[in-house]
Amino acid sequence: MNGRDRRWAELARELEFSELPELRQRAEGWRAGLTGLSTLLAVLVVLKGRDDLAGLPTAARNTAMGLIAGAFVLLVIGSVLATRAAHGSPRDSDKQMLITGHALRQWTEKEVKGVSRTLRRAALCCLLGVLLAGGGVGVAWSTTEKAKDHLVRVGTPTGELCGELVRAGRGGYVVKVEEGGEGDAPRQVTLPARDVDSVAPVASCDAPG
């Protein structure tokens, strides 16, 4: 026996009087942690791409969504683990033990290892989550196509044509038309001026208007 045993015994004896503040502190920690999770969700919603993922090619969209979903899961897990390391698990609130000095010492030694392990996992999850989120944003930015300028809808006796106006002059109108299939190269169509009934600027060729 030494002075350390006495100190542990004294700590165990005084723990009885700090049980409620300890529980309240744990609750406050979890409240802060859950608030942080809500913020995290909002941030990830903002970080979904330059415009939105729907405008990306299919492969890039799936990749970006996968990366961002993975990042979200990892960041949530990391955040929960960090909160557990800092404030313990709420499940332990119903776990009673006989608080003696020796038991408190054993519990503390075990807890130190557990908290260290949980903290390492939390840091790893957060790091991987940030990397995945960065990757997702990178994919979204690098594959989002620039919005086309000078889109026009040209009316002709045989129908309408929509595309990017390349030039207009005596030789007629040159319009770059996207083909229906994804990945197909755009086709340049030259319309003689006499065949053009109307030319109207449009924001998109998706729907007539």
Partner 1 sequence: MTGARTVSHDFEIVYAEQDVDAATVSFTGRASADGLGVVVTGDCPRCHGSTASEYRYGLPGTGTKGLWSKLTGTARTEPDPGSVTETLRQETYFCECGHPHPQLPGNAVFVGCGASWQVRSLIVEGAP
**111: contact with partner 1 by CB under 8 A:** yes
Q: Which of residues 66-95 bind partner 1 (CB under 8 A)?
A: 84-89, 91-95
Asked if 12 contacts 103 with a C-beta cutoff of 8 angstroms, the reply is yes
Asked if 79 contacts 37 with a C-beta cutoff of 8 angstroms, the reply is yes
Q: Which of residues 113-172 bind partner 1 (CB under 8 A)?
A: 114-115, 118
**107: contact with partner 1 by CB under 8 A:** yes
Q: Which stretch binds partner 1 (CB under 8 A): 97-105, 145-153, 168-176, 200-208?
A: 97-105
**9: contact with partner 1 by CB under 8 A:** yes
Asked if 129 contacts 71 with a C-beta cutoff of 8 angstroms, the reply is yes
Judged by beta carbon, residue 103 or residue 193, the one nearer partner 1 is 103
Rounded (10°) angle between helices 3-15 and 101-143: 70
Separation of alpha carbons 172 and 174, rounded Å:
7
Q: Which of residues 10-49 bind partner 1 (CB under 8 A)?
A: 10, 12-16, 19, 22-23, 26
Asked if 67 contacts 135 with a C-beta cutoff of 8 angstroms, the reply is yes
Phi, psi of 103 (to 5 degrees): -65, -40
Q: Which residues contribute to the site for partner 1 (CB under 8 A)?
A: 1, 3, 5-6, 9-10, 12-16, 19, 22-23, 26, 84-89, 91-104, 107-108, 111, 114-115, 118
